[in-house]
Chains A and B, each alone.
Chain A
């Protein structure tokens, strides 16, 4: 009994000393890992930016298994990390169970909503950003056929695809949108070879603009599109510089800003749902020197017009996840 107590005591001390010092913020990346060249990496950049600007330190953690989620949240909360930010909807269930046990710790979760008094949920309107990307794709396409390559066939990716298809159809109602998913397991997010293969197959079906929403797989899609002499659209990060003059635009999702803001707010993080939409700059189509030659004045005007209408609420882009249907595409 005493031995057990001593062991318990020793391990508690070790756990406390081993995890970050008190009140440092912490970020937990999903199983994709922080160097996924996409979603998690963007989050990591936000955390780094905070650290460089403030000189502060933070604890970061990458998940390896499902059972680890709750364990990691509890350990970080018990070690006093505050706030604790996590990337990805997969944490929703664990956070719902853990958050009430640590009422003095603030949590922030990206990509899903967790309704707890000490949790800030950050959602992005990928459908709106993808809509603009779809409009540009349809205007740039000469064949009237455009492609979409997703990672796994999950609701979030359907939301990207559905917004894109709506944008395409808004410009050219007769356009064809070819939708493919890369795979059915986690490797689909990081399989550039398969991405390139699917892109080539879409090119052979006359697609001349391809939008990749597939994490690291997208790198292969963009490469194959550049090799095949057609245009591509990047995702999450601004991927225009990967192939200057050959990437039409990128649908940027500012996960980095969400993490940065949460770290900056620290323990004063305001709980509740924040929607990072087009108006808030949460999503956008990237315009820079790399794609300046590709974006015609008409394209620019159309995008600005749609942006104004979406922001004012005049134009509603259908969000796939609300009712699992899409008016412009079938999955």
Chain B
């Protein structure tokens, strides 16, 4: 049987998946007595129809680009890092400490400081599970998962007992100096004459995330380390035979993965909240796994998948605000889109291959 042409594989399959997902969402919305077309329009218009909505979509997408890249880089080495949540939580602590303790003269330096601190804290949280896997054989799925809970507990302790301003009910740090607020995407686009709303949390970190995606692509396919990571992931014994040290590679992969997860906090903590709250990651670490799978572990695919997830988040909140559809149903709608676009492309691929084969045969 013939393979699908490249354009069909890349464009047609995801598009059909998306349409099927929307059909099922429509049935569900109709079943609870709401208008499906209106609901889907609210989602699309809310997240892409205005620059403000688009800003929120891109803000969420930025988080997912970081966590998605983090998962995929470890996945290239066949390491399933599901600790992105904890690593990003620790990254948040790093960013907050950098912004609270160091008197930066300018936001750009504060940004560099946050990037360094976020990456360092995230990487450190990835290091221990990596070391345990490499040296002791403790499975990384278990350890990174457990480290998420340790991160929650640590964050709870630090915020309630150390960073919380006296008398505050809110387990959150003080606000960072206003001077450290990152430039909004709207301000940056305004410089080149593109009108874009600044009332949303999308900020310069989005551009950093895009640059990082290019960087990860270059690292994976154009450097020795990237080659070693992929070789180790494909066939550990062959890699060993080729002189690749499994201990080093495991640790490098998790340091990179944890560091990139930690960078997410620059967007969420310094870029949007301007302070550290208890749950600053909000599941983005786990969403990163779905993003990486949907993006087929390729940085370019991850950026696209992140924007789709950003759309689901922002569209979901617009749906909550614009209709009376309950929050639980919105979660189901989001899950349906993830299910069809992420997990079931093969369901569409096979029949399409048949169709294309027939079509090709007739010609």
Contact = CB atoms under 8 A, between A and B. Distances in A.
Contacts of A184: 149, 152-153, 155-156
Interface string A32-61: 010000000000000000000000000001
Interface in B310-361: 313, 316-317, 320-323, 326-327, 330
Contacts of B199: 74
A14 B49 CA distance: 10
A19 interface: yes
Interface stretch (A151-159, A165-173, A289-297, A310-318): A151-159
A14 B42 contact: yes
Which secondary structure dominates where chain A touches chain B? helix
Contacts of A281: none
Contacts of B323: 18
Contact of A323 (B49, B166, B169, B313): B166
A321 B169 contact: yes
Contact of B327 (A33, A156, A322): A33
Contact of B49 (A11, A61, A64, A321): A11
Given A18-B323, A92-B170, A93-B172, A71 B50 contact: no
Nearest to A9: B50
A4 interface: yes
Contacts of A71: 56, 200, 317
A7 B317 contact: no
Name the interface size band of chain B.
35 or more
Interface string A1-43: 0001001101110110011000000000000010000000000
A206 to B, nearest CB: 27
A65 interface: yes
A4 B167 CA distance: 47
B94 interface: no
Interface of A: 4, 7-8, 10-12, 14-15, 18-19, 33, 61-62, 64-68, 71-72, 74-76, 89-90, 92-93, 111-112, 152-156, 184-186, 321-324
The 4 closest A-B pairs by CB, nearest first: A18-B322, A11-B49, A184-B153, A89-B169
Interface of B: 41-42, 45-46, 49-51, 53, 56, 59-60, 149, 152-153, 155-157, 160, 164, 166-172, 175, 195, 199-201, 268, 272-273, 275, 277-280, 282, 313, 316-317, 320-323, 326-327, 330
Given A7-B49, A11-B50, A152-B156, 7 more contacts: A11-B53, A66-B268, A66-B280, A92-B169, A93-B170, A93-B172, A322-B167
27 contacts: A11-B53, A15-B46, A15-B321, A18-B322, A19-B321, A19-B322, A61-B321, A62-B320, A62-B326, A64-B317, A66-B277, A66-B279, A66-B282, A67-B60, A72-B321, A74-B199, A76-B321, A90-B277, A93-B275, A112-B169, A153-B156, A153-B157, A155-B164, A184-B152, A184-B153, A184-B155, A324-B166
